[in-house]
Chain A
Amino acid sequence: DQQVKQNSPSLSVQEGRISILNCDYTNSMFDYFLWYKKYPAEGPTFLISISSIKDKNEDGRFTVFLNKSAKHLSLHIVPSQPGDSAVYFCAASLNFGNEKLTFGTGTRLTIIP
């Protein structure tokens, strides 16, 4: 039972354009959502998070949007840069992220120079 889904395994975007990564979830009890970025042979790096009481959180080039009624969140990266090429994981948790995270399967983002 995949409670957090990233339906696009890969995405290619031109440098300078906007990258939009999507994530859907099924458990309405999730109250905290995170995005991680991962390079090969390294651990994931925390990017940005959002709690269920908000619908948007912005940090520099990264913005996360949450649509609770649709159980959908998205990560926008603008402008996209070559260093953004990586695998992006969406994760969700109960209790504001202080217990176990449930991860999606990841989306490989490739930025084309």
Chain B
Amino acid sequence: DGGITQSPKYLFRKEGQNVTLSCEQNLNHDAMYWYRQDPGQGLRLIYYSQIVNDFQKGDIAEGYSVSREKKESFPLTVTSAQKNPTAFYLCASSKGKGGGNQPQHFGDGTRLSIL
């Protein structure tokens, strides 16, 4: 089945540690996105990538880094510089530029907590 796989589902981080969240898609989508959801808030965009080896900052990129070495994969690293990393992280993908009805499809998320 085609879809977006995020792993792990739950992740714990100690203070001062970097952690990497995995996102893989087999939908042959060009564009991939990372969002963060906090309680009572909507999803906020962290980073997005419309093509391999290229990515752009979203609205809340500080303290995060990404890479896009393969079309299928868009890992997100939460660095120690991110002061409030506890949140639910969602990865999404879409067909990318081309116009028309091409909604983003989401994975099931990773919940990150600080120990």
Contacts and interface: CB of A to CB of B under 8 A. Distances in A.
Contact of B90 (A6, A43, A51, A105): A43
Given A100-B45, A103-B44, A49 B103 contact: yes
B96 interface: yes
A6 B90 CA distance: 20
Interface string B82-115: 0000000010101111111111111111010000
Given A89-B42, A101-B45, A42 B109 contact: yes
Contact of B43 (A44, A95, A97): A44
B99 A98 contact: yes
B111 A46 contact: no
Contacts of B95: 98
Given A49-B103, A95-B99, A105-B41, 20 more contacts: A41-B109, A43-B92, A43-B106, A43-B109, A44-B90, A46-B104, A89-B43, A96-B99, A96-B100, A96-B101, A98-B95, A99-B97, A100-B45, A100-B58, A100-B59, A101-B45, A101-B104, A102-B45, A103-B42, A105-B40
Interface of B: 4, 6, 31, 33, 35, 40-45, 48, 50, 58-59, 90, 92, 94-109, 111
Interface of A: 4, 6, 9, 34, 36, 41-46, 49, 51, 89, 91, 95-106
21 contacts: A42-B109, A43-B6, A44-B90, A49-B103, A51-B101, A89-B42, A89-B43, A95-B99, A97-B94, A98-B95, A98-B96, A99-B50, A99-B97, A100-B58, A100-B59, A101-B33, A102-B45, A103-B35, A103-B43, A104-B42, A105-B42
